[in-house]
Amino acid sequence: MRLAGALLAAAFIAFAVPPSAAACGPQSDCVVGDRAYRIALPDRPAPALGAIVHAHGYKGTAAGAMRNRSLRDAAAALGVALIALQARGDAWSLPNGPGALRAGRPADLDGEIAYMEAVLQDAAKRFGVDRGRVMATGFSAGGMLIWELACRRSDLAAGFAPISGTFWAPVPASCPAPPASLVHIHGTSDDVVPLDGRAIGPARQGRVPEALALYRRHGGFAPVEGRTVDGLECARSVGPEGRLLAFCRHDGGHRFDGALVSVAWRLLREAGAIPAAK
């Protein structure tokens, strides 16, 4: 009798968990086409499940992002999913980056955008992620990808939060996509991606002030009062439709942790870019 009961319980669990949702997670890949991502779900997902989509830095991995306890804890505390993207190779394919310049051919930014779109569609279908409650963030080279997405496909997320990364030089003269809410976080002592950029092989990092000025013009953002948020000094600007542009600084170097991601989510949430869970 006990064996029969155990078999029935196992069968119930197998049918209760959708196979597509059980097939991948924080320790295994969710396959989309010829690429993949990883996902960690909160213990009690809200009906309108929000998500933090994270793009790793140079030579990083989705698996490595899932091992970052502060990042995992930040997403869990917010009650949202953590989606870790995975570059094809060591780095994201970005305009004017070292990889594209050394190869002598244009970067495949369209491919990165298509990958992001595929990940979001898959996460919505498999796990119920609400695309209206997605924040796209990334660190270092991942932050560079996030700037490109905010400039060229701002419909992909409700808000963007690049950390310690910006465009490769030259900073674009304009953005083809409508403006979005964006929070940029950077250390004033960063010597890996300095605020004024530096040369890396044939490429050069863009200047963060130029990127912010571009987006300020693009969205018609007007300065409002500064604010200190969890030790970060944040200069805030608001656009005509209530969108937020914030530049938050700390006095450290090339730093990343979940607390920075939490600050970005909080600012975007307070600005109304990310709706409250239903």
DSSP states of 56-69 as a string?
--TT--HHHHHT-H
Q: What is the C-alpha to C-alpha distance for residues 228 and 11, in angstroms, rounded to an integer?
A: 53
In this structure, what DSSP letter does residue 243 have?
-
Under CATH, domain 22-270 is a member of which superfamily?
A: Alpha/Beta hydrolase fold, catalytic domain (3.40.50.1820)
Report pLDDT digits (tens) over 52-67.
Answer: 999 999 999 999 999 9
| Torsion on CA atoms 239, 235, 165, 145, rounded to nearest 10 | -20
Report pLDDT digits (tens) over 257-273.
Answer: 999 999 999 999 999 99
Q: What is the pTM of this model?
A: 0.91
Token pair of 147 as six digits: 């700037």
**Residues 137 and 53: beta-carbon distance below 8 Å:** yes
Q: Break the chain into its structural domains and give their ranges.
A: 22-270
Which among 112, 93, 119 has a CA at the least distance from the CA of 33?
Answer: 119
For the chain, 278 residues long, give each residue's pLDDT as a single digit of tens.
443 444 333 333 333 334 444 579 999 999 999 999 999 999 987 778 999 999 999 999 999 999 999 999 999 999 999 999 999 999 999 999 999 999 999 999 999 999 999 999 999 999 999 999 999 999 999 999 999 999 999 999 999 999 999 999 999 999 999 999 999 999 999 999 999 999 999 999 999 999 999 999 999 999 998 999 999 999 999 999 999 999 999 999 999 999 999 999 999 999 999 998 87
- 223 exposure class (CB count in 10 Å sphere: 0-12, 13-18, 19+): exposed
